[in-house]
C-alpha cells in the first residue's frame, strides 16, 4: 500500500466516522428526516398513491395510515414485482430479490433489494464496518492482503429477467470495484451454487493467498476452516495465513463457536472478532467497540425503525413505538420501512437495547424460534446462555443443536428434547442435562415453575447426535452454505422428528 493509498484510506475513515458521529448526535432527527425521504421518493408508486404519501407530514399520520405487514401479507405484491411490474412499492423496476433462507421453511421469501438499498444500506454499512475497525485498530495492516468472502449462490429468474438468491450472492454480484479488488475468491467461484464443489475450489484458490480478513456466517466459515486444515495437514490457521487479523461474522450467535475458533488459532493470539447484523431486509447494526457483544444500530442507512414489545406482539392490535420510546433490556420485535419498498414490515428477529446513548442492541432471538407448549416461554436468548454455561461447567463444546417439546400424554407429563451434536462431548450426559436444566431454571422463571416437582415438565432429554447429522440434514434440504441456519428452538416436533429419522 503506497502513500497515496494510505492518504485515501485515512480520508475515507475520517469521513465515515464523522458521518457516524453526526448520526449518534442527532439520532431521532435523522430517523424522522429519513422517513420523510422514503415517503417522498415513493409518493407516486402504487402503494404511495393508495396511502396518500404526499400529504403525510408527521410520524403520527404515518403510524395511523400505514398497516403493519408480514411477508404473507405482501407476497402477492412481491410476485407482481418479480414478474416485472414497476412502481409498485418503490419507484422503477426491482431487479434483485434476496431469497430468505434462514431455516428450512417449505416456502421461500423473496425480499426486494433495490440498487439504492445496496448502495445506501449494505455497502455503506460495510464501509462503516471497516472504518470502525480501522478507527479501533489504527496500526492495522489489513489492506496489505486479501479479504476472503464466503457467500451463497444466485440464479436467474429467466421468465422476467429478475435475479434471486442469497443476499450475499447479490451483494457479491454488484460489489463496487474497490471492494472487488481486495476480495477473494473471484466472483465466478464465489457464486458457485453447489456448496461442496465450491468448498474444494475455494480451498485451492485461497490457501496460498495472504488472507487478512474473513467475512461470512460463522458456522459455515468454521466448516470451511476445518476442511482447509485437513486439506493442508496443518494444525492452525496461522500456519496457512500468518497475517490473519479480523473475522467479520453474522447470521448466528458466535458464542457457541468461539471456543472452536480460538482452538484453531491456538498457537497465536486469535484474530479480532467483529459481529454484524445483516439480513435480507437490510443491514441493521455493527459492532463498534472492541471485544463487545453490543451492536451499534445504524440509523441513516435507508431504514426507518419502529418496535413492538414482545409482551404485546401476539395481541390483535399491538402497540408500535418509534426509536425515542424504547427502553433498556426489554425484548422488541423489529418493524422496518426501507428504501427497498418494505413498509412497516415485521422482521422475525427480536432485539434488546443495551444502551440508549448511542443506541446499541443485541439480538435475543426470533419470533418463531421458541418453545411454549406448556407456558414455559423458552426463547433463544435463554437457550444460548444456558448452553454456554453448561459447556463451561462440563468442559464440553457444541457444534450444533436444536430443541423442541415432548407432548403430554396419558403415561407422562411433557418435557423438552434436545438434539446436540458435540465437538467435545461431556463425560457424563446426565450431568450435562442436570446442569442445563438448572441453568434454564435460573434464567427463566416460567420454565422453573413448570419444572416444579415435575408436575408439568419432566427433566429435559439430551440426545447426542452423530457427527455430521445437522450437515447431512441441511444437505438433504438443499440448504448447504450461504446464510442457512439450523433452527434452534421450535414449538413443534417437525425438526426433531426429521433429524431423528436420519441419525
pLDDT-above-70 percentage for the chain: 94
The whole-angstrom separation of Cα 319 and Cα 311 is: 10
DSSP state of 247: E
Q: CA nearest 297: which of 104, 128, 50, 119?
A: 128
- Contact (Cβ atoms closer than 8 angstroms) between residue 287 and residue 275: yes
Q: Which residues contact 404 (CB under 8 A, 6 or more apart)?
A: 371, 416, 417, 489, 490, 491, 492, 493, 494, 495, 496
Mean pLDDT of the 182-198 span? 85
* pTM, rounded to two decimals: 0.87
pLDDT at 314: 81
Beta bridge mates, 197: none
Is the predicted pLDDT of residue 276 greater than 90, yes or no?
A: yes
- Tell whether the model's pLDDT for residue 264 goes beyond 70: yes
Residue 279 grid coordinates = 439480513
What's CA 32's distance to the chain center, in Å?
A: 26
CA distance 367 to 489: 11
Phi, psi of 179 (to 5 degrees): -75, -35
Concatenating the DSSP letter of every residue in 391-419 gives HHHHT-EEEEEEEEEE---SS--BEEEEE
Q: What are the chain's domains?
A: 24-89+297-366 (no CATH), 117-286 (3.40.50), 370-502 (3.30.300)
DSSP 369: B
Residue 284 has pLDDT above 70, yes or no: yes
Query: In the chain, what's the furthest Cα-to-Cα distance?
Result: 77
Q: Angle at the Cα of 169 (from 164 to 173), degrees rounded to 5? A: 95
Which range, of 18-22, 129-133, 453-457, averages the lowest pLDDT? 18-22
pLDDT one-digit tens code per residue, 89-100: 999 999 999 987
Amino acid at each position: 500500500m503506497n502513500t497515496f493509498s494510505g492518504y485515501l484510506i485515512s480520508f475515507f475513515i475520517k469521513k465515515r466516522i464523522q458521518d457516524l458521529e453526526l448520526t449518534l448526535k442527532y439520532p431521532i432527527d435523522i430517523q424522522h428526516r429519513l422517513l420523510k425521504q422514503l415517503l417522498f421518493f415513493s409518493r407516486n408508486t402504487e402503494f404511495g398513491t393508495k396511502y396518500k404519501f404526499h400529504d403525510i407530514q408527521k410520524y403520527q399520520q404515518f403510524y395511523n395510515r400505514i398497516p403493519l405487514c408480514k411477508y404473507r401479507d405482501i407476497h402477492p405484491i412481491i410476485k407482481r414485482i418479480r414478474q416485472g411490474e414497476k412502481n409498485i412499492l418503490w419507484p422503477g423496476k426491482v431487479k434483485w430479490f434476496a431469497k430468505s433462507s434462514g431455516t428450512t421453511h417449505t416456502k421461500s421469501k423473496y425480499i426486494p433489494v433495490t440498487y439504492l438499498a445496496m448502495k445506501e444500506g449494505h455497502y455503506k454499512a460495510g464501509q462503516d464496518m471497516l472504518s470502525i475497525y480501522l478507527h479501533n485498530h489504527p496500526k492495522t495492516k489489513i489492506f496489505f492482503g486479501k479479504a476472503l468472502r464466503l457467500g451463497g449462490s444466485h440464479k436467474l429468474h429467466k421468465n422476467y429477467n429478475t435475479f434471486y438468491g442469497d443476499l450475499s450472492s447479490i451483494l457479491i454480484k454488484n460489489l463496487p470495484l474497490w471492494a472487488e479488488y481486495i476480495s477473494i475468491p473471484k466472483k465466478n467461484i464465489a457464486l458457485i451454487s453447489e456448496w461442496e464443489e465450491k468448498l474444494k475450489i475455494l480451498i485451492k484458490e485461497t490457501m496460498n493467498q495472504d488472507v487478512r480478513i474473513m467475512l461470512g456466517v460463522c458456522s459455515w466459515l468454521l466448516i470451511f476452516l476445518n476442511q482447509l486444515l485437513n486439506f493442508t495437514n496443518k494444525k492452525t490457521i496461522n500456519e496457512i495465513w500468518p497475517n490473519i487479523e479480523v473475522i467479520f461474522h453474522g447470521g448466528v450467535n458466535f458464542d457457541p463457536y468461539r471456543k472452536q475458533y480460538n482452538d484453531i488459532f491456538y498457537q497465536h493470539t486469535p484474530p479480532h472478532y467483529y459481529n454484524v447484523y445483516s439480513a435480507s431486509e437490510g443491514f441493521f447494526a455493527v459492532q463498534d467497540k472492541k471485544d463487545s457483544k453490543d451492536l451499534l444500530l445504524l440509523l441513516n442507512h435507508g431504514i426507518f425503525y419502529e418496535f413492538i414489545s414482545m409482551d404485546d406482539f401476539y395481541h390483535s392490535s399491538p402497540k408500535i413505538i418509534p426509536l425515542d420510546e424504547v427502553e433498556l433490556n426489554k425484548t422488541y420485535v423489529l418493524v422496518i420501512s426501507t428504501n427497498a419498498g418494505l413498509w412497516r414490515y415485521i422482521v422475525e428477529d427480536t432485539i434488546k437495547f443495551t444502551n440508549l446513548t448511542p443506541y446499541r442492541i443485541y439480538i435475543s432471538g426470533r419470533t418463531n424460534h421458541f418453545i411454549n407448549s406448556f407456558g414455559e416461554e423458552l426463547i433463544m436468548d435463554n437457550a444460548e446462555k444456558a448452553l454456554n454455561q453448561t459447556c463451561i461447567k462440563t468442559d464440553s463444546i457444541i457444534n450444533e443443536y436444536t430443541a423442541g417439546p415432548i407432548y403430554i400424554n396419558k403415561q407422562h407429563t411433557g418435557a423438552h428434547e434436545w438434539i446436540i451434536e458435540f465437538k467435545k462431548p461431556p463425560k457424563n450426559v446426565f450431568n450435562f442435562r442436570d446442569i442445563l436444566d438448572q441453568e434454564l431454571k435460573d434464567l427463566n422463571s416460567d420454565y422453573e415453575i413448570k419444572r416444579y416437582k415435575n408436575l408439568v415438565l419432566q427433566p429435559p432429554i439430551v440426545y447426542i447426535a452423530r457427527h455430521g447429522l445437522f450437515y447431512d440434514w441441511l444437505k438433504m434440504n438443499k440448504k448447504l452454505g450461504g446464510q442457512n441456519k439450523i433452527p434452534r428452538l421450535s414449538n413443534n416436533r417437525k425438526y426433531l422428528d426429521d433429524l431423528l429419522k436420519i441419525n
